[in-house]
Amino acid sequence: MTQRITIRRPDDWHLHLRDGAMLKTVLPETARHFVRAIIMPNLVPPVVTAADASAYRDRIMTALPEGMDFTPLMTLYLTEQTDPDDVAAAYADGLIHAVKLYPAGATTNSQSGVKTLRNVYPVLERMAEIGLPLCIHGEVTTHDVDIFDREQVFLDTVLAPLRRDLPGLKVTLEHVTTSHGIDYVREAEGDIAGTITTHHLMINRNHMLVGGIRPHYYCLPIVKRAEHQKALRAAATSGHPRFFLGTDSAPHLDGAKETACGCAGCFTAPNTMSCLAHVFEEEGALDKLEGFASLHGPARYGLPPNEATMTLEKREEPCTYPETYETPEGSLTLFDPNVPLHWHVLT
Determine which one of 11, 52, 86, 248 is catalytic.
248
CA 284 to chain centre: 24
Is the pTM for the entire model greater than 0.95?
yes
> What is the pLDDT, as a whole number, of residue 216?
98
d(Cα 112, Cα 166) in Å, to the nearest integer?
23
| Domain encompassing residue 312 | 3-345
d(Cα 168, Cα 162) in Å, to the nearest integer?
11
Residues with Cβ within 8 Å of 167's Cβ and at least 6 positions away in sequence, in order, are: 190
Contact 203, 223 (CB under 8 A): yes
> Hey, is 31 helix, strand or coil?
helix
For 322-346, write each residue's pLDDT tens digit. Answer: 999 999 999 999 999 999 999 999 9
Query: Residue 108 above 80 pLDDT?
Result: no
Torsion region of 105: left, alpha or beta (phi above 0 gives left; psi -120 to 50 gives alpha): left
> What CATH code is carried by the domain that includes residue 308?
3.20.20.140
Could you give the number of structural domains in the chain?
1
Percent of the chain exceeding pLDDT 70 equals: 99
For 208-254, write each residue's pLDDT tens digit. Answer: 999 999 999 999 999 999 999 999 999 999 999 999 999 999 999 99
d(Cα 48, Cα 52) in Å, to the nearest integer?
6
Sheet of strand 3-8: strand arrangement: 3-8, 309-314, 343-345
**Active-site annotation holds for 248:** yes
Question: Using alpha carbons only, how large is the chain's radius of gyration in Å?
Answer: 19
d(Cα 247, Cα 195) in Å, to the nearest integer?
8
